[in-house]
A = this chain, B = another copy of it.
């Protein structure tokens, strides 16, 4: 029998404030990107991840894992992004099960253009409101939660050092 305590007053306040902030932040980022760049935040992240990958390409499965996306979700998203000419999908003879996704020049351009406004918004809504100490704290808190949310989740990240692209 598992005992489950209710949230105490302090936790309650924290939880509701956190939920509200996240809810509004999500909406704000998505709205800004859709309005200024015509793509949802999730699609921006797909492009960003691809832009940092070696050769600017990844298999669908690998990309899905990096983004913690379901294969299905990525597949739908890829269909749309491909129609828009931002990515290209193709197969290689080595393993004909896998599909390679590659970000196109047009996709890179769209990403770079979108990045300006996006980063400005992230700054305005998050980093400008926090002290350096709080940024530290937020990272540690997020890492703690990730431990419970994504136990086996490491996966490399291709951190392209000096590149003002895709800063998200």
Q: Would A6 and B150 be within 8 Å (CB), given that A11-B135, A18-B142, A138-B141 are in contact?
A: no
The A interface, classified by DSSP as helix, strand, loop or mixed, is: helix
A120 to B108, CA, bound (A): 43
Give residues of chain A (112-139) contacting chain B, Cβ–Cβ below 8 Å: 116, 119-120, 122-130, 134-139
Residue A1 at the chain B interface, CB threshold 8 Å: no
Q: Which residues of A (33-59) have their CB < 8 Å from a CB of B?
A: 45
User: Is there an interface contact between A149 and B17, defined as CB atoms closer than 8 Å?
Assistant: no
Smallest CB gap from A143: residue in B: B17
Whether, in the assembled complex, A156 has its beta carbon less than 8 Å from a beta carbon of chain B, the answer is no
Assuming the contacts A14-B138, A126-B15, A135-B14, asked whether A21 and B149 have C-beta atoms less than 8 A apart, the reply is yes
Residues of chain A touching chain B, judged by Cβ–Cβ distance below 8 Å, are 2, 4-7, 10-26, 28, 45, 68, 116, 119-120, 122-130, 134-150, 157, 159, 164, 167-168
